[in-house]
Structure 1
Amino acid sequence: MWCPNCESEKTRVVGTNKSYVVERYRKCSDCGYTFSTLESHRFDPKWSKNSEFSQQEADRMSQRRIR
């Protein structure tokens, strides 16, 4: 991960919040700048190989991951 302040590659994760999106708090080892990144997943029914797979099942699976 590149630091948005000094463009150094030396960053580390100092905290994480997990929910529907994963928010990671990072700190640059060179300049000390703290920033956050967001990671999320997207469900698109066209990507599913199984035509029986429904949005309710996808919601149920994502709820299970959060707990």
Structure 2
Amino acid sequence: MQRRISTGKLDRPRSLAAAATRGVAFRTLYLGCWFLGAGMVYYFFGLETKGKSIERIDRELAKA
């Protein structure tokens, strides 16, 4: 009687690695979009201080 060698134990780590790396591209794209969005907000709505103190900026904003 011959013994069969089961490959289930050998395939399991390979399938776990495939499942873990399957969504890496999506996660990287998602994170990149958030970084791009944050950069756009900073570029368009960021307050340029030009060496002004926080108190001076606060006074100028209070006038407006």
TM-score by length of 1: 0.20
Greater fraction of residues in helix: 2
TM-score by length of 2: 0.20
Greater fraction of residues in strand: 1
